[in-house]
Structure 1
Amino acid sequence: MEEENVILVNEADEPIGLMPKMEAHEKALLHRAFSVFVMNDKGETMLQQRAKDKYHSPLLWTNTCCSHQREGESNIEAGKRRLMEEMGFSTELTELFSFVYKAPFDNGLTEHEFDHVMIGTYNAVPNINPEEVANWKWMHPEEIKTDISKNPEQYTAWFKIIFERFYDHLMQNISTS
């Protein structure tokens, strides 16, 4: 199987080239990515535990799914594709915000991403892909925030960064609606 390319971007999210995913992570080059948060009607967020054979952050908890857009693919198309590949379901997604972050890992790789954060709604049981996902659960955002502060080692580096912004976004929109 051929390694997937990521879209290298500048700070304005303008594409500047393609590069194999591992090479971009080894060189810590800025590339386009997305993070999907799925919530249910009870206000809970679906978390996934990464599969034990993932090349980084195995068995850590993270957002519903995340990955990299393919060339010519919109953010929403990419989010829907990966949601189906990892969690086995489809739902409408809305892009909430985007930002740049950098998260180094113990294995020498670095996530340096222009991340597009999306949200969707789903109320059923996912059909997880065991090659991607070890487990899943629903948690209220307040519970996630508390658990991250008590057990930060159980969560992916990027999720701790992204969740802070996601949580702030949720709280601002709850207080203004």
Structure 2
Amino acid sequence: MAAIEVILVDRDDRATGKMEKLEVHEKGLLHRAVTVYVFNSAHQLMLQQRASGKYHCGGLWSNTTCGHPYPQESTRHAAERRLFEEMGMQLTLEPVFELSYNLPLSNGLTEHEYGHVYFTISDQQPQLNPEEADAWRYASLADIQAEIQQEPERFTPWFLHTFARIPDEFTRFMDKANTVHSVDA
């Protein structure tokens, strides 16, 4: 299998080069990433349990999907591609916010990412790729927050870091969607 390259970036998300994905995580270099949050019509978040065989964070619960754009690939295309590759879902995603983090992982790797976060609402059922995910479930944001407080070790470091923003960002996302729909009516 060919090595997968990711896009190295500066703190303003300007591309500075490319490098093999594992090497980037070993060296802790800042690179571009995408994160997807799929909510259902009941406003519950679809969580993914990462496949136990993943090279890091296997078996932990996280956002619906995540990954890295290929060089010359847009973040939206990368997010939609990864959602299909991991969860078998073809959905249109909306960009919601960006953030940066530098988080050590338990196996000596580092997630130093400039992340582009996408949301969508869908009641479509996923078709899991077993190389990517072991399980999935829906949960309310309040229930997820309670789980995080009780057992944070069950979740990926980037999900723990990002989740604090999700309730407010979801409210803004829904307000924007409701405004667009009321204008269209």
Partner of 2:96: 96
> Contact conserved, 1:92 with 1:121, CA < 8 A, in 2?
no
Q: Give the letter aligned to residue 150 of structure 2.
A: K
Amino acid corresponding to residue 58 of structure 2 in structure 1? P
1:24-35 matches, within 5 Å, as 24-35=24-35
Q: Residue 105 of structure 1 aligns with which residue?
A: 105
Partner of 2:84: 84
TM-score, reference length from structure 2: 0.92
List runs of 5+ in structure 1 lacking aligned partners. none
Cα deviation, residue 174, structure 1: 6.0
Which deviations, in whole Å up to 9, do the C-alpha atoms of 1:111-159 show, x marking residues without a partner? Answer: 0000000001220221000110000000111111111111101000000
Q: CA deviation at 1:171?
A: 4.2
Give 3-state SS (helix, strand or coil) of 2:131's partner.
Answer: coil
Deviation track 1:97-124 (CA, whole Å, cap 9, x = no partner) reads 0011011012110000000000012202
**What is the distance in 2 between the residues matched to 1:86 and 1:32?**
18
1:173 CA drift (Å): 5.5
The equivalent residue for 2:143 is 143
In structure 1, what is the equivalent of residue 3 of structure 2? 3
Task: Report Cα offsets for 1:77-98 as digits up to 9, x if no partner.
Answer: 0011000000001111000000
Q: Match of 2:49, SS? A: strand
CA spacing shift, 1:90–1:174, aligned 2, 3 Å: closer
Aligned equivalents of 2:165 and 2:120: distance in 1?
16
Superposition CA RMSD, Å: 1.4
Pairing 1:17–2:17 present: yes
Residue aligning to 1:133: 133
**Whole-angstrom distance in 2 between the partners of 1:19 and 1:141:** 36
Runs of 5+ unmatched residues, structure 2: 179-185
TM-score normalised according to structure 1 size:
0.96
Cα deviation for residue 73 of structure 1 reads 1.0
Task: Tell me the CA shift for residue 170 of structure 1.
Answer: 2.3
Q: Is the 8 A contact 2:6 2:31 kept in 1?
A: yes
Q: Aligned equivalents of 1:165 and 1:73: distance in 2?
A: 26
